[in-house]
Amino acid sequence: MRLARRADTLRSLTLAILAIAPFLPGCKCPTVDSGHRGIVFKSLGGGTSKEVLDEGMHLMPVWNSVIPYDTRVHEMKESLSVLSSNGLAIQVDASVRYRPKVDELYALQTEIGPDYDQKVVAPVVRSEARKVFGRYQPEEIYSTKREEIERQIYDEVLRALEGKHVIVEAVLVRDVILPETIRTAIADKLAEEQRAQKMRFTLDRERQEAQRKQIEAEGIAKYQSIVRQGLTPEYLQFKGIEATERLAASQNAKIVIVGSGKSGLPLILQGEK
């Protein structure tokens, strides 16, 4: 209970001081907005302070000033003119999402300043994007390698901005604008590749079907060859005798003539029952 009362008393005292501070000689209470941090500059000695102010109101002498930094995620949109690997000029709309490192705001302020986006981020993104786009053909940039290009630009930008007190969250290629003749040629090429791929699939399927039929025919021919080799006259005569014996033992009325015909097999005549 005592601790709670002390906390309430301290809070009330702080609010009272902040309320009367603007009216005290030599004091002011600047406010750091939501989503921001502040760097204090002491003009009467001490220079830039390493202390980073959080959101809210702060009491300080009137000769001190606060340099605000928006620490939320920013998006910078760039329209770039780049060259593909074959020298074709391409217009690219890209964007980069970034924010300052809160724990390195003092270094960012003393080394670069609040306009770090125009001094560092934008030039690096332009330079690295042009280098990456220069590795690819127009049709790759326009259609097939978009994600790969984004990833390479992002990796190159991260390396280039290392130690610059900035966090880069993403680099996106939003649009690629090619001359109309080039777009038409690329569309025709892609359509032709799709037709060729379909034809290769059809030919492969027909080839597999032909192989299946060939294997089936070879199997049938082999079976017939084996059967023919076993059908000797003696074998056929033997099977005829077996059939004659079974017929003779049957209760059906018949006449069996043994030894008739060219093959010597019995003739069977159906008689009256």
Positions of the chain with pLDDT under 70: 1-26, 181-183, 185-193, 227-240, 243, 245, 247-273
Cβ–Cβ under 8 Å, residues 271 and 253 = yes
Residue with tokens 């017939």: 224
**pLDDT reported for residue 27:** 80
Which residues have C-beta within 8 Å of that of residue 94, sequence separation ≥ 6?
77, 78, 79, 80, 125, 129, 153, 171, 172, 173, 174
Residue 178: Cβ within 10 Å count: 20
**CA 22 to CA 31: how far, in whole Å?**
12
**pLDDT reported for residue 23:** 47
Which residues have C-beta within 8 Å of that of residue 133, sequence separation ≥ 6?
80, 82, 83, 84, 90, 92, 141, 149
The two beta strands, 36-42 and 47-53, are: antiparallel
Q: Where are the beta strands (DSSP E) in the chain?
A: 27-28, 31-32, 36-42, 47-53, 56-57, 60-61, 64-70, 74-83, 89-100, 166-177, 254-257, 267-270
Please name which of 115, 108, 89, 92 lies closest in space to residue 171, comparing C-alpha atoms.
92
- DSSP state, 21? G
**pLDDT reported for residue 199:** 79
What are the tens digits of pLDDT across the range 161-194?
999 999 999 999 988 887 776 667 666 666 666 7
Which amino acid appears at position 82 of this protein? Answer: V
**pLDDT reported for residue 228:** 67
Burial of 76 (0-12, 13-18, 19+ CB in 10 A): middle
Output the CA angle 87-88-92, nearest 5 degrees: 120
What are the tens digits of pLDDT across the range 57-101?
998 888 899 999 999 999 999 999 888 888 888 889 999 999 999
Residue with tokens 């220079």: 47
